[in-house]
Structure 1
Amino acid sequence: MKNKLNTKSLVMTALFIAISLCVRTISINIIAAGTLTMRISFAAIFYVLPGFLFGPIYGAIAGGIVDVLGYIITPMGPYIPLMTITNIIAGAVPALIFKNIKDINLKSIKKYYTVFFVLILLVGMINFLSIKLMPFSILSKQLFKFGNKAQYFGIGFIMISFIGLFILMMTVIIGRRLGKTCNFINRRYFKFAISIGVSGLIVSTLNTFILLIFTPSLMANGFLVLWIPRIVQTIFLTFINSYIISILVYYYETFEKRLIEDI
């Protein structure tokens, strides 16, 4: 996985972009207030894949191009340039995360991952209980400075922790069901799930803020009303996308290895 641009990687990235655009056309689009608020699609698989195979820069290129061309081909509501930026992030960040965790022992990753989300859960519970039961405490007064957004530090943190721990639980279950017969998927699935899941959480949150900024009519419903369905969608797609990407990466690397041997 190299960051240096080369012809083969660019050609393959272009192919993945084309596939992503084709897949994107059969997505389920949910529109509110004249704006696309959610897209249920597997198109992300093919603009994230170049990042995993060739480096983050290819994922960024693919993510940006897919968003722009996708809007040109099938426009949904007004074009929001910031969404293109978040799609670039969506293409690059998974590869960046994976690059930093791919060589780390899987058990160590799971251990630190669990500790991280348990800590978030504890912080969220402390904040939530402080706001509800001790509104005049020092902590509550600090949280209330954020106004209505104070709930994000309570319920928001708790939800994020549950999401993270749920992803861990599901990946463990899936890993056990796959067994040794699919060991090639098992070795990378959780790392792909972390990379895609964390990126998805960041991008979904950013996109939710962007939608609220550019679509004032959605503001009345509040952040969580728009954010929660998007996060649920992100979790659902993370499991499926990670599994498919694990298979595609395996077969791509196997094919490339055989091709080199034949040459």
Structure 2
Amino acid sequence: MKSKMNTKFLVMTALCISMSIVLRFFSIMITAGGALTMRISFAAIFYVLPGLLFGPLYGAAAGGIVDIIGYILMPMGAYIPVLTLTNILAGYLPAVIWKKIKNISIESLKKYYIAFFAVLTLLGMFNILVIMNMQNSYLGRMLMHFGKKSQYFGVGFILIGAVAFVLLIINNIINKRSSISYSYVYNNFFKLVIATGISGMIVTTINTYFILIFTPAVAAKGFIILWIPRMVEALVFTVVSSYAISILMYSYNALSGRVVKKI
């Protein structure tokens, strides 16, 4: 029985990898200095899905394979091996977070979510206040060590907080007005936003750092200038991806004969 399940998991993972690679061909590429700085694509949906369904290792394998095969079929600039490692992390991390939070009530998660992004927004506002009015203070001088663009830290934090709260509002609207008659999608959507969102923020930050290291032409623009739009893109796509993944997970469980209760 276990052997059959493992075979089933491998087949489904291979199918997801294929779908992800196909979606990569429809990506919108944004380059700077001859290097790929942002890829707008829904490919992540299908290499994250195996990890959520079958375990983190399946997600990690899918993420790595998609990145390698995707580059072979459609290369964009020089191959950077470390970005394959971060794509492995992008497939692995959501599954780990999902395992930790999937049994926690949504109301509890929302409280932590609101508190975290409220603090982040306040930190951003405080950063801007210090840079504008307290440059000669100890904290102001410390922040100015980041250079002339240090104020963008505050702007970035505020922008991320704003996007996060917009995602929360969208989640509430979906829960109230969606015509889908299964609570499974409702209950998992917000948790998936958290799992994929946290993972996305971590991976985006790491990727931005390595892009700057390996592409000197982009490095001149500075970390924050590159990081802010990439982070906003990651958070915006989180809501779409999470909803799609939630529906796909429901579909898989329904086809597997598992009972999904109606509202």
Q: Specify if TM > 0.5.
A: yes
- Matched-pair contact (CA < 8 Å) for 1:127–1:139: no
SS of equivalent residue, structure 1 residue 181: coil
> Does residue 136 in structure 1 map to residue 167 in structure 2?
no
Aligned-partner Cα distance in 1 for 2:106–2:209: 34
- Matched-pair contact (CA < 8 Å) for 1:121–1:157: yes
Query: What's the offset of the Cα at 1:15?
Result: 1.6
- Matched-pair contact (CA < 8 Å) for 2:153–2:224: no
What's the TM-score once normalised by structure 2's chain length? 0.89
217-226 vs 117-126, which moves further:
217-226
- Matched-pair contact (CA < 8 Å) for 1:98–1:195: yes
- Deviation track 1:126-152 (CA, whole Å, cap 9, x = no partner) reads 222112111122322332344456435
- Aligned pairs for 1:191-202 within 5 A: 191-202=191-202
35-44 vs 243-252, which moves further:
35-44
> Does residue 9 in structure 1 map to residue 9 in structure 2?
yes
- Matched-pair contact (CA < 8 Å) for 2:59–2:88: yes
Query: In percent, how many aligned pairs have the same letter?
Result: 53
Q: Compute the RMSD of aligned alpha carbons.
A: 2.2
Query: What's the offset of the Cα at 1:70?
Result: 0.5
List 4+ stretches of structure 1 deviating above 6 A.
none
> Does residue 105 in structure 1 map to residue 93 in structure 2?
no
- 2:229 paired residue number: 229
- 2:49 paired residue number: 49
- Aligned pairs for 1:81-160 within 5 A: 81-148=81-148, 150-151=150-151, 153-160=153-160
> Does residue 238 in structure 1 map to residue 238 in structure 2?
yes
What letter corresponds to residue 252 of structure 1 in structure 2? Y
What letter corresponds to residue 251 of structure 1 in structure 2? S
156-165 vs 19-28, which moves further:
156-165
Query: What's the offset of the Cα at 1:179?
Result: 5.6
- Deviation track 1:105-141 (CA, whole Å, cap 9, x = no partner) reads 1011001110111111222222221121111223223
- 2:65 paired residue number: 65
Kindly tell me the number of residue pairs found equivalent between the two proteins.
256
What letter corresponds to residue 222 of structure 1 in structure 2? G
- Matched-pair contact (CA < 8 Å) for 2:48–2:90: yes
- Aligned pairs for 1:245-260 within 5 A: 245-257=245-257
Aligned-partner Cα distance in 1 for 2:8–2:167: 34
161-170 vs 206-215, which moves further:
161-170
Sort the Cα spacing of 1:103 and 1:72 in 2 relative to 1 into closer, same or farther, 3 A: same
Aligned-partner Cα distance in 1 for 2:213–2:163: 25
- Deviation track 1:191-248 (CA, whole Å, cap 9, x = no partner) reads 1111111211221222222111111111232333322332232233212111111111
What's the TM-score once normalised by structure 1's chain length? 0.89
- Deviation track 1:147-181 (CA, whole Å, cap 9, x = no partner) reads 45643542332233223222212222222221673
Sort the Cα spacing of 1:239 and 1:26 in 2 relative to 1 into closer, same or farther, 3 A: same
Aligned-partner Cα distance in 1 for 2:21–2:219: 31
Sort the Cα spacing of 1:143 and 1:221 in 2 relative to 1 into closer, same or farther, 3 A: closer
